A and B are shown apart, each in its own frame.
Chain A
Amino acid sequence: MKISTIAWILAIKFADIVISEVSNPLYEDPIKLRHARLRLPIALRFIDLDRFKIIKSINERAYDIAFIARLEPEKGFPEFICGIKLLYKEGLRPRILVGGSGSLLSLAEKALKNLDAKLLKYIPHEEMPNVLNDVKILVLPSKREGVPTILLEALACGVIPIASKVGGIPWLLKTARTGILLDKPSCSSVYQALESLLTLEPQLLEEMSRRGRVFVEKCLSLNSAINRYWILKEHVYLRI
């Protein structure tokens, strides 16, 4: 067992309360489940719903597919590029947006050269709502994640996510009833998921897009986050 795992177990054991973003224990970190004295699934963050909202209908957006994350192997960037290349090989010509920087930047520049693609090395956070409102599908084939903020912001803007089955993502997409989960973040799974969404009826895309927004409005407003943390506060006072 790694030292960091032992330290993590001890930290959980010494804590009075462990809070988590994931409400369903099925998707919870097993260490938290096993060692926590009290686990409260209240820690889901909030999204600024006035800023992150649907400005453009999904079928009017400029980019079909986007990858917005650090350009690193653990974020699944090589698998994303490979999946896109397969789409082009099969005759599909989606417009691509890549946002981010990292150790794979030169790979990105080289790979996107001959595609209908735009690369933004840095997206200021205040620009993110506009950027997301120009995107139909967001791909996040990460190897490891918690509950990624970009995914929550994308759902708020009505973007349809394709993401790997890691961390809190399966819980998120199943609860939101939108997007596609990748069993494995591989080239072929990225390709298949993208192909199925790109060939979907515009009406069905619109419906998926709206479902994501409804979930965010229900669960990720500041008020709902404050209410959840009030529950935590009451639990703490019971223990003082």
Chain B
Amino acid sequence: MKKRSISSDTIAVFSFPLPSPSNYALLANLVTILSHVYSRAIIVTGNFISTLPHVIDDLRLANKSNILIYDLRAKLPVRDKYVPLTIKLLTYIKIQLNLIAATIKLCNMFEIALLFIGIPHMLPIILLLRLMRKRIIVY
């Protein structure tokens, strides 16, 4: 029987940072399920990341030892506040670069990538993942 490596039993979940913590409850729900199916689930996201472990705690049912969180270190501007276009653009570029950097840095750790929230914004890393011959799942 063919033996599977830990990287082939690891799933990386990419989520574009979003301006609302409610989306992270959805992400936590997904990761809770994946933590029971894969040896390791890596979450790559930003913004409200500090609340994510709390949300997973709130769900109680996650296999927490299988979850790894990678912070993109990029925050989106607050929705209701006025932010100049240049700042918005620079933030967007920073997120894209950090996503690419995270994909390169983590690429040896996973074989399967699941793209969760903000998929149209993650086209550059989808292309990168294709070049790296990773299996891509789109939610």
CB-based contact B38/A14 at 8 Å:
no
CB-based contact A14/B120 at 8 Å:
no
Q: Which residues of B contact A7 (CB under 8 A)?
A: 119-121, 123
Given A14-B130, A15-B136, A16-B136, do A45 and B33 touch, yes or no (CB 8 Å)? Answer: yes
Q: Which of B29, B36, B120, B122 has the most CB of A within 10 A?
A: B120
Binding stretch for chain B, among A161-169, A170-178, A179-187, A222-230: A222-230
- Per the bound structure, the CA–CA distance linking A132 and B138 in Å amounts to 32
CB-based contact B32/A222 at 8 Å:
yes
Residue B42 at the chain A interface, CB threshold 8 Å: no
Residue A8 at the chain B interface, CB threshold 8 Å: yes
- Contact digits for A34-49, partner B, Cβ 8 Å, 1 yes 0 no: 0010000001011010
CB-based contact A233/B137 at 8 Å:
no
Query: Which of A5, A10, A19, A237 contacts B137, CB < 8 Å?
Result: A19
How many contacting A-B pairs (Cβ < 8 A)? Answer: 82
Interface size class of A (residues with CB under 8 A): 20 to 34
- Contact digits for B1-40, partner A, Cβ 8 Å, 1 yes 0 no: 0001000100000000000000001100110111011100
Query: Which of B26, B33, B135 contacts A226, CB < 8 Å?
Result: B33
- Per the bound structure, the CA–CA distance linking A83 and B97 in Å amounts to 48
Main SS class of interface, B: helix
Main SS class of interface, A: helix
Q: Which residues of B contact A19 (CB under 8 A)?
A: 137-139
Residue A120 at the chain B interface, CB threshold 8 Å: no
- Per the bound structure, the CA–CA distance linking A185 and B127 in Å amounts to 39
CB-based contact A240/B119 at 8 Å:
no
Residue A115 at the chain B interface, CB threshold 8 Å: no
Query: Which of B38, B60, B126, B135 contacts A11, CB < 8 Å?
Result: B126
Residue A4 at the chain B interface, CB threshold 8 Å: yes
Residue A17 at the chain B interface, CB threshold 8 Å: yes
CB-based contact A229/B138 at 8 Å:
no
Given A45-B29, A229-B33, A229-B37, do A125 and B135 touch, yes or no (CB 8 Å)? Answer: no
Q: Which residues of A contact B26 (CB under 8 A)?
A: 45, 149
CB-based contact A229/B59 at 8 Å:
no
Distance (Å) between the CB of B31 and the closest chain A CB? 11
Q: Which residues of A contact B8 (CB under 8 A)?
A: 237, 240
Q: Which of B33, B36, B61 has the most CB of A within 10 A?
A: B33
Query: Which of B30, B127, B135 contacts A239, CB < 8 Å?
Result: B135
- Per the bound structure, the CA–CA distance linking A14 and B115 in Å amounts to 12
- Per the bound structure, the CA–CA distance linking A11 and B119 in Å amounts to 7
Residue B112 at the chain A interface, CB threshold 8 Å: yes
Residue A12 at the chain B interface, CB threshold 8 Å: yes
Q: Which residue of A lies closest to B111 (CB)?
A: A240
Q: Supply 21 A–B pairs (Cβ within 8 Å), ascending by A.
A: A14-B127, A14-B136, A15-B126, A17-B135, A17-B138, A18-B138, A19-B137, A19-B139, A36-B138, A43-B139, A45-B33, A46-B29, A46-B33, A125-B25, A126-B58, A226-B37, A229-B33, A229-B34, A230-B37, A239-B135, A240-B8
The 6 closest A-B pairs by CB, nearest first: A7-B120, A15-B138, A45-B29, A229-B37, A8-B120, A15-B136
